[in-house]
Amino acid sequence: MITINSIINGIVIDHIQAGHGIKIYNYLNLQDADFPTALIMNVASTKNSKKDIIKIENVIDLDFKMLGLLDHNITVNIIENERIKEKINLSLPNRVENVLKCKNPRCITSVEKYIPHVFNLVDEEKGEYRCEYCDEIATE
């Protein structure tokens, strides 16, 4: 039987869409961590039928914009002394820079490599972003 203990001090990333936890685990480079981490997949959930959870026994800096872009339903729990100190609900960021890449070959960002790729959220329900320079639509 596998036992996953509670976190004493660290972070729990909860309510990850089932099957997508590995994407976030890899984005955070947790496979290279020298502290305990756990990726728990396909856990029963009351909100959804299943979810993934990541437990990190360490306090690390998280880019909430990027995590929100990867899965805007995530909840990040900051744990101190085995208790939730802070609960952060993520959402899609209104503006992202150099996260999404514009695929329009005529966009200025395709020609001038020094110009940042800037996208603004236009449809939260669909997760659609619009390039600030050429109006190309991209999804998260």
**3-state SS, one letter per residue, for the chain:** CCCCCCCCCEEEEEEEECCCHHHHHHHCCHHHCCCCEEEEEEEECCCCCEEEEEEECCCCCCCHHHHHHHCCCCEEEEEECCEEEEEEECCCCCEEECCCCCCCCCCHHHHCCCCCCEEEEEECCCCEEEECCCCCEEEC
The CA distance from 107 to 104, in Å, is 5
Q: Taking residues 42-47, what's their average pLDDT?
A: 85
What pTM was estimated for this model as a whole?
Answer: 0.79
Residue range(s) occupied by CATH 2.30.30.20 in the chain: 95-139
Judge whether residue 1 has pLDDT over 60. Answer: no
- Mean per-residue pLDDT over the chain, rounded: 90
3: pLDDT strictly greater than 60: no
Query: What pLDDT does residue 105 have?
Result: 95
CATH number of 95-139: 2.30.30.20
Residue extent(s) of CATH 3.30.70.140 domains in the chain = 10-89
| Residue 21: predicted pLDDT | 93
Q: Which fold has domain 10-89?
A: Alpha-Beta Plaits (3.30.70)
